[in-house]
Each structure stands twice: as C-alpha cells, then as structure tokens.
Amino acid sequence: MMNMLKKSSLASLLFLAIMGTVNAEVTTINTETNETLMPQGQWKDLNTGLIWQRCSIGQTWNGNTCDGDAKIFRYVEDIPISEEDKANGWRLPTIDELVSIRNCSKGEDEDIREISAKNTHSGKDVRLHEECKRDSAKPTIDSKIFPRTVSYLYMSGSRGFQKSSAYTFMGFANGNMGVPYRYFLSFSDGYIKFDSGRRYSGHVRLVRDK
C-alpha cells in the first residue's frame, strides 16, 4: 500500500513539473503578440511569423511613432547592429522577407522575378512579383504599422553574382564568376532592384525570426 502511495505521489509531482514547464513555455510564447510588441516598436507578421522593427535604423520609437530621420547606408559593414541586437536575433532581412511587408494598394504587377534559394531565408527558390502596379499609394507599405517609412530603397541581406559580358569579377566566397550584386526593395513603387557595383544606397529595417 505504501509503495502504491509513493508511486502515486511521484507521478503527481512529475505531472505538475511537466505542466509547469508547458505553462512557462506558453506564457513565453504568448508575450510575443502584437498587443505587447507594437507598443515596444515591434510588429509580428502573423503570415510569416517574422517580427519587424517598426522604425528604420536612425529613427527612435517614442511609444507612438518613429522620431528622427532614417539613416542611409551604402555598405553593409557600416550598418550599426549592436552586439546585443545580434544576440537577440535582429538581422538584415532577405529580399523575399522585405517583399512580404510590401503593400501594393493597386495590386502587384504581372512581371515576375525569380530569386534563387541562396538569396532567400528559407533556402528555397521563390518567384516574386517584381513591383506594384502604377498609381499604388506611396510608400508601398502599411504606414500604420511602419510609420514614417521613407519612399526609397531598403537594403536586403540577399546578394550574389550575375554573369556579365562587360564586367567580370571572381566571387572568392563561392568561386562564381560574375558581377557582384545586392538586392534592394523600393518602397516608392515596390520595385525589386539589384545593385551591381554598389551604386545604390539604402535604408535598413531589421527583422528577427519568431
């Protein structure tokens, strides 16, 4: 009888321990909701699960909107992502992630741009509409979620090499021959651009995984 009581007590304690762990995990997950994130200057995309900073780098969230001017960068190495932000998972978005927050009020253009797996966060090939249809509202993003977004280029972390008969460079990182380029997204017209030769500069909005 005593052994049965001991086994019952141990089972009960084990059950409570498991439930406590589950409840703690649920509590942690539930704090990552827009109800709690948006007042902190973050927004969770329920379609992708990604969490975005509502302000561009250079701006400051004041509890209601973004103060200051968004900084513009030509080189990725100049983007001031602190070690603390890196530790918390903040990073430069890939081009397909940037396109996921593009808002085309008149719909998307029919032209398609194919993005290879090496340039996407998922590691899969994707086909993206190249731009918004004409006369879409500017900026081509939801300004209620992302206030004071600049109607200009935003830099992505997607890069690669494009074959060119005029200029050829060796990509020593992967041995590819071609012109190095980086993808940008314009929130003026929603257009996907790529820069072969660091001609473009862009603003930056950081993202982190769910």
pLDDT > 60? residue 12: no
Q: Which amino acid is at 124?
A: K
For residue 84, the SS3 value is helix
2 pLDDT tier (thresholds 50, 70, 90): very low
164 pLDDT tier (thresholds 50, 70, 90): very low
Task: Give the mean pLDDT of 28-37.
Answer: 80
Separation of alpha carbons 79 and 6, rounded Å: 60
What percent of the chain is modeled with pLDDT above 90?
Answer: 61
Lookup result for tokens 């001031």: 80
pLDDT per position as a tens digit, 118-143: 888 888 999 999 999 999 999 999 99
What is the reported pLDDT for 202? 93
Alpha helices in the chain (DSSP H): 2-30, 34-37, 83-87, 95-99
Residues facing residue 162 across a β-bridge: 179
**Domain spans, the chain:** 1-30, 34-208
Tokens of 206: 């950081």
What mean pLDDT value characterizes the chain?
A: 82
What is the reported pLDDT for 203? 96
pLDDT > 50? residue 172: no
CB atoms under 10 Å from CB of 202, counted, come to 25
75 pLDDT tier (thresholds 50, 70, 90): confident
